[in-house]
Structure 1
Amino acid sequence: MKRKTWAVVGATPRQNKYGYQIYRSLKLNGYTAYPVNPRYKEVDGDPCYESLSKLPVVPEVVDMVVSPTLGEAYVEEAAKLDVEFVWFQPGAESEELVEKARNLGLKVVYNTCIMLETEKRK
Protein backbone atom coordinates (compact mmCIF):
# COMPACT_ATOMS: atom_id res chain seq x y z
CA MET A 1 0.00 0.00 0.00
CA LYS A 2 1.49 3.30 -1.06
CA ARG A 3 -0.41 5.33 1.51
CA LYS A 4 1.82 5.86 4.55
CA THR A 5 -0.43 7.52 7.16
CA TRP A 6 -2.94 5.22 8.85
CA ALA A 7 -5.41 5.28 11.71
CA VAL A 8 -6.28 1.95 13.32
CA VAL A 9 -9.81 2.09 14.73
CA GLY A 10 -10.07 -0.54 17.44
CA ALA A 11 -6.40 -0.51 18.38
CA THR A 12 -5.85 -1.97 21.84
CA PRO A 13 -2.94 -2.46 24.26
CA ARG A 14 -3.85 -6.15 24.54
CA GLN A 15 -1.12 -7.88 22.56
CA ASN A 16 -3.18 -10.97 21.71
CA LYS A 17 -5.82 -8.90 19.86
CA TYR A 18 -5.79 -8.02 16.17
CA GLY A 19 -6.20 -4.32 16.96
CA TYR A 20 -2.79 -4.37 18.64
CA GLN A 21 -1.13 -6.67 16.11
CA ILE A 22 -2.28 -4.61 13.12
CA TYR A 23 -1.21 -1.34 14.73
CA ARG A 24 2.21 -2.73 15.63
CA SER A 25 2.67 -4.36 12.21
CA LEU A 26 2.01 -1.06 10.44
CA LYS A 27 4.55 0.72 12.66
CA LEU A 28 7.18 -1.99 12.19
CA ASN A 29 6.71 -1.85 8.43
CA GLY A 30 7.47 1.86 8.23
CA TYR A 31 3.98 3.33 8.24
CA THR A 32 2.90 6.25 10.39
CA ALA A 33 0.04 4.79 12.40
CA TYR A 34 -2.28 6.28 15.00
CA PRO A 35 -4.33 4.14 17.40
CA VAL A 36 -7.98 5.15 17.76
CA ASN A 37 -10.03 3.76 20.62
CA PRO A 38 -11.90 5.82 23.22
CA ARG A 39 -11.33 3.10 25.84
CA TYR A 40 -7.54 3.55 26.07
CA LYS A 41 -5.07 6.36 26.68
CA GLU A 42 -2.09 4.50 25.23
CA VAL A 43 -1.29 1.65 22.82
CA ASP A 44 2.23 0.25 22.47
CA GLY A 45 3.66 3.29 24.25
CA ASP A 46 1.93 5.77 21.93
CA PRO A 47 -0.99 8.09 22.71
CA CYS A 48 -4.35 6.61 21.77
CA TYR A 49 -6.99 8.91 20.33
CA GLU A 50 -10.69 8.79 21.12
CA SER A 51 -11.79 9.65 17.57
CA LEU A 52 -10.46 10.33 14.09
CA SER A 53 -11.16 14.03 14.58
CA LYS A 54 -8.73 14.14 17.52
CA LEU A 55 -5.76 12.88 15.46
CA PRO A 56 -2.93 15.38 14.81
CA VAL A 57 -3.28 14.72 11.04
CA VAL A 58 -5.93 13.40 8.67
CA PRO A 59 -4.90 9.82 7.85
CA GLU A 60 -4.80 8.60 4.26
CA VAL A 61 -6.26 5.26 5.35
CA VAL A 62 -8.55 4.30 8.21
CA ASP A 63 -8.15 0.62 9.10
CA MET A 64 -11.26 -0.72 10.80
CA VAL A 65 -10.81 -3.42 13.45
CA VAL A 66 -14.25 -3.01 15.04
CA SER A 67 -17.67 -4.51 14.39
CA PRO A 68 -19.77 -3.02 11.59
CA THR A 69 -22.13 -1.61 14.21
CA LEU A 70 -19.33 0.37 15.86
CA GLY A 71 -17.71 1.11 12.52
CA GLU A 72 -20.59 3.10 11.08
CA ALA A 73 -19.82 6.26 13.07
CA TYR A 74 -16.13 6.04 12.12
CA VAL A 75 -17.00 5.69 8.42
CA GLU A 76 -19.12 8.84 8.67
CA GLU A 77 -16.33 10.65 10.51
CA ALA A 78 -13.74 9.52 7.93
CA ALA A 79 -15.89 10.90 5.12
CA LYS A 80 -16.28 14.26 6.91
CA LEU A 81 -12.49 14.46 7.26
CA ASP A 82 -11.93 13.63 3.56
CA VAL A 83 -10.01 10.44 4.30
CA GLU A 84 -9.18 8.68 1.04
CA PHE A 85 -9.45 4.98 1.98
CA VAL A 86 -11.26 2.84 4.52
CA TRP A 87 -9.83 -0.66 4.96
CA PHE A 88 -12.18 -3.12 6.62
CA GLN A 89 -10.39 -6.00 8.31
CA PRO A 90 -12.16 -9.37 7.94
CA GLY A 91 -15.19 -9.27 10.23
CA ALA A 92 -15.28 -5.46 10.40
CA GLU A 93 -17.29 -5.13 7.21
CA SER A 94 -20.88 -5.65 6.21
CA GLU A 95 -22.43 -5.18 2.79
CA GLU A 96 -24.37 -2.21 4.12
CA LEU A 97 -21.31 -0.54 5.64
CA VAL A 98 -19.19 -1.06 2.52
CA GLU A 99 -21.98 0.45 0.42
CA LYS A 100 -22.36 3.36 2.84
CA ALA A 101 -18.62 4.08 2.73
CA ARG A 102 -18.66 4.09 -1.07
CA ASN A 103 -21.75 6.31 -1.16
CA LEU A 104 -19.93 8.77 1.10
CA GLY A 105 -17.09 8.94 -1.43
CA LEU A 106 -14.57 6.73 0.34
CA LYS A 107 -12.44 4.20 -1.49
CA VAL A 108 -12.96 0.81 0.16
CA VAL A 109 -10.70 -2.20 0.69
CA TYR A 110 -12.05 -5.38 2.29
CA ASN A 111 -11.78 -9.19 2.19
CA THR A 112 -8.08 -9.05 3.03
CA CYS A 113 -5.94 -8.30 6.08
CA ILE A 114 -3.38 -5.50 6.00
CA MET A 115 -0.87 -7.72 7.83
CA LEU A 116 -1.01 -10.23 4.96
CA GLU A 117 -0.63 -7.45 2.41
CA THR A 118 2.41 -5.90 4.12
CA GLU A 119 4.05 -9.35 4.33
CA LYS A 120 3.51 -9.86 0.58
CA ARG A 121 5.43 -6.66 -0.14
CA LYS A 122 8.56 -7.67 1.78
Structure 2
Amino acid sequence: MQDLINEFISQKRFAIVGATDDPQKYGNEIFKNLRSRGYEVYPVNPRLKELEGVKCYPTLSDIPVRVDVVDIVVPPTVAEEVVKEAKRLGLERIWLQPGAESEAIVSFCQENGMKVVYNVCVMMN
Protein backbone atom coordinates (compact mmCIF):
# COMPACT_ATOMS: atom_id res chain seq x y z
CA MET A 1 0.00 0.00 0.00
CA GLN A 2 2.95 2.36 0.50
CA ASP A 3 3.44 2.69 -3.28
CA LEU A 4 -0.20 3.68 -3.60
CA ILE A 5 0.13 6.21 -0.77
CA ASN A 6 3.22 7.67 -2.46
CA GLU A 7 1.30 7.99 -5.72
CA PHE A 8 -1.59 9.75 -3.96
CA ILE A 9 0.56 12.24 -2.04
CA SER A 10 2.51 13.12 -5.19
CA GLN A 11 -0.72 14.51 -6.69
CA LYS A 12 -1.72 18.18 -6.63
CA ARG A 13 -5.49 18.59 -6.16
CA PHE A 14 -7.43 17.08 -3.26
CA ALA A 15 -11.17 17.20 -2.63
CA ILE A 16 -11.90 16.91 1.09
CA VAL A 17 -15.39 15.45 1.44
CA GLY A 18 -16.50 16.22 4.98
CA ALA A 19 -14.40 19.37 5.38
CA THR A 20 -15.78 21.37 8.29
CA ASP A 21 -15.27 24.61 10.19
CA ASP A 22 -15.32 22.71 13.52
CA PRO A 23 -11.69 22.75 14.72
CA GLN A 24 -12.35 19.63 16.83
CA LYS A 25 -13.11 17.50 13.75
CA TYR A 26 -10.71 15.68 11.45
CA GLY A 27 -12.36 17.25 8.41
CA ASN A 28 -10.99 20.59 9.61
CA GLU A 29 -7.56 19.27 10.59
CA ILE A 30 -7.07 17.48 7.27
CA PHE A 31 -8.14 20.59 5.33
CA LYS A 32 -5.60 22.74 7.19
CA ASN A 33 -2.86 20.10 7.03
CA LEU A 34 -3.10 19.60 3.26
CA ARG A 35 -3.26 23.35 2.58
CA SER A 36 -0.18 23.93 4.73
CA ARG A 37 1.65 21.30 2.67
CA GLY A 38 0.95 23.18 -0.55
CA TYR A 39 -1.89 21.12 -2.02
CA GLU A 40 -4.82 22.67 -3.90
CA VAL A 41 -7.67 21.76 -1.58
CA TYR A 42 -11.35 21.77 -2.53
CA PRO A 43 -13.59 21.42 0.54
CA VAL A 44 -16.88 19.59 0.01
CA ASN A 45 -19.66 20.26 2.50
CA PRO A 46 -23.22 21.17 1.46
CA ARG A 47 -23.72 23.16 4.68
CA LEU A 48 -20.80 25.58 4.20
CA LYS A 49 -20.29 28.40 1.69
CA GLU A 50 -16.58 28.71 2.48
CA LEU A 51 -13.91 27.45 4.83
CA GLU A 52 -11.13 29.83 5.88
CA GLY A 53 -11.69 31.92 2.77
CA VAL A 54 -11.79 28.91 0.43
CA LYS A 55 -15.05 28.26 -1.45
CA CYS A 56 -16.85 25.08 -0.34
CA TYR A 57 -18.71 22.90 -2.80
CA PRO A 58 -21.94 21.00 -2.05
CA THR A 59 -20.80 17.90 -4.00
CA LEU A 60 -17.85 16.57 -5.97
CA SER A 61 -19.77 17.36 -9.16
CA ASP A 62 -19.78 21.07 -8.27
CA ILE A 63 -15.98 21.40 -8.15
CA PRO A 64 -14.96 23.31 -11.33
CA VAL A 65 -11.70 21.41 -11.85
CA ARG A 66 -10.81 17.74 -11.98
CA VAL A 67 -9.33 16.71 -8.63
CA ASP A 68 -6.58 14.11 -8.39
CA VAL A 69 -7.58 12.59 -5.05
CA VAL A 70 -10.91 12.36 -3.24
CA ASP A 71 -10.20 12.30 0.49
CA ILE A 72 -13.30 11.14 2.36
CA VAL A 73 -13.91 12.11 6.01
CA VAL A 74 -17.59 11.16 6.42
CA PRO A 75 -19.33 8.06 7.81
CA PRO A 76 -19.50 4.98 5.56
CA THR A 77 -23.21 5.50 4.82
CA VAL A 78 -22.39 8.87 3.22
CA ALA A 79 -19.05 7.70 1.81
CA GLU A 80 -20.80 5.03 -0.27
CA GLU A 81 -22.65 7.71 -2.25
CA VAL A 82 -19.52 9.85 -2.56
CA VAL A 83 -17.56 6.95 -4.06
CA LYS A 84 -20.36 6.29 -6.56
CA GLU A 85 -20.33 9.98 -7.53
CA ALA A 86 -16.53 9.84 -7.92
CA LYS A 87 -16.92 6.85 -10.24
CA ARG A 88 -19.49 8.70 -12.37
CA LEU A 89 -17.05 11.62 -12.64
CA GLY A 90 -14.17 9.35 -13.63
CA LEU A 91 -12.18 10.09 -10.47
CA GLU A 92 -10.02 7.11 -9.66
CA ARG A 93 -8.05 7.90 -6.48
CA ILE A 94 -10.05 7.50 -3.26
CA TRP A 95 -8.57 7.99 0.20
CA LEU A 96 -10.90 6.72 2.93
CA GLN A 97 -9.92 8.24 6.25
CA PRO A 98 -10.16 5.94 9.27
CA GLY A 99 -13.85 5.69 10.14
CA ALA A 100 -15.02 6.38 6.58
CA GLU A 101 -14.25 2.94 5.21
CA SER A 102 -16.32 -0.20 4.97
CA GLU A 103 -15.74 -3.52 3.25
CA ALA A 104 -18.48 -2.64 0.75
CA ILE A 105 -16.83 0.66 -0.20
CA VAL A 106 -13.37 -0.86 -0.58
CA SER A 107 -14.83 -3.69 -2.69
CA PHE A 108 -16.76 -1.22 -4.86
CA CYS A 109 -13.58 0.76 -5.53
CA GLN A 110 -11.54 -2.33 -6.35
CA GLU A 111 -14.25 -3.84 -8.57
CA ASN A 112 -14.55 -0.58 -10.51
CA GLY A 113 -10.84 -0.06 -11.15
CA MET A 114 -10.50 2.74 -8.62
CA LYS A 115 -7.37 3.05 -6.50
CA VAL A 116 -8.20 3.12 -2.82
CA VAL A 117 -6.20 3.88 0.33
CA TYR A 118 -7.83 3.06 3.67
CA ASN A 119 -6.96 2.48 7.34
CA VAL A 120 -4.29 5.19 6.99
CA CYS A 121 -4.67 8.90 7.73
CA VAL A 122 -3.46 11.32 5.05
CA MET A 123 -1.91 13.51 7.77
CA MET A 124 0.48 10.69 8.71
CA ASN A 125 2.12 10.77 5.26
TM-score where L is the length of structure 2: 0.90
Indicate the residue corresponding to 1:93 in structure 2. 101
* Alpha-carbon shift at residue 84 of structure 1 (Å): 2.3
Count of residues in correspondence between the two structures: 117
Matches of residues 1-122 of structure 1 in structure 2 within 5 Å?
1-117=9-125
Structure 1 unmatched ranges of 5 or more: 118-122
Distance 1:102 1:74 in 2: 15
Task: Tell me the C-alpha RMSD between the 2 structures.
Answer: 0.8
Checking the alignment, whether the CA contact within 8 Å between 1:5 and 1:32 is kept in structure 2 is yes
Cα distance in 1 for residues equivalent to 2:53 and 2:23: 12
Once residues 101 and 41 of structure 1 are traced to their aligned partners in structure 2, the CA distance between those partners, rounded to angstroms, is 29
CA offsets, 1:24-82, max 9 Å, x none? Answer: 11110010110001111111221110000000111110000000100111101111111
Percent of aligned pairs sharing the same letter:
50
Runs of 4+ in 1 over 3 A off after TM superposition: none
Q: Which amino acid aligns with 1:37?
A: N
> In structure 1, the residue corresponding to 2:84 is in which secondary structure?
helix
SS in 2 for 1:73: helix
- Cα distance in 2, alignment partners of residues 44 and 98 from structure 1: 31
Kindly indicate whether the alpha-carbon contact (under 8 Å) linking 1:79 and 1:105 is maintained by their aligned counterparts in 2.
no
SS in 2 for 1:11: coil
Point out where structure 2 has 5 or more consecutive residues left out of the alignment.
1-8
- Relative to the length of structure 1, the TM-score reads 0.92
C-alpha displacement of 1:104: 2.2
